[in-house]
Chains A and B, each alone.
Chain A
Amino acid sequence: MEGSDKFFVVVIVMSIIFTGLGTYLFLIDRKLSRIEKKLKEFRGSKNNDK
Chain B
Amino acid sequence: MIKSMWWKFLGLALVLYSIIAGLLIDVPALPVIHQTIRNLFYHVSMWFAMFVMLGTSLVYSIRYLSGFRMRDDLMASGAVYTGIFFGLMGLMTGMVWARFTWGDFWTNDPQLNGAAVSMMAYLAYAVLRGSIDEVAMRARISAVYNIFAFMLLVIFLGVLPRLADSSLHPGKGGNTSTMEGLDMTMRMVFYPAALGWILIACWLLQLHTRRRALIQGIH
Contacts and interface: CB of A to CB of B under 8 A. Distances in A.
Interface of A: 1, 7-8, 10-11, 14-15, 18-19, 22, 25-26, 28-30, 32-33, 35-36, 39
30 contacts: A1-B24, A7-B24, A10-B23, A11-B19, A11-B23, A11-B24, A14-B19, A14-B23, A15-B20, A18-B12, A18-B15, A18-B16, A18-B19, A19-B12, A22-B16, A25-B8, A25-B203, A26-B5, A29-B5, A29-B8, A29-B207, A30-B1, A32-B207, A32-B210, A32-B214, A33-B1, A35-B214, A36-B210, A36-B214, A39-B214
A39 B12 CA distance: 29
B34 to A, nearest CB: 13
A30 to B, nearest CB: 8
Contacts of A35: 214
Interface residues of B, number: 18
Q: Is the interface of A mostly helix, strand, loop or mixed?
A: helix
A6 B15 CA distance: 22
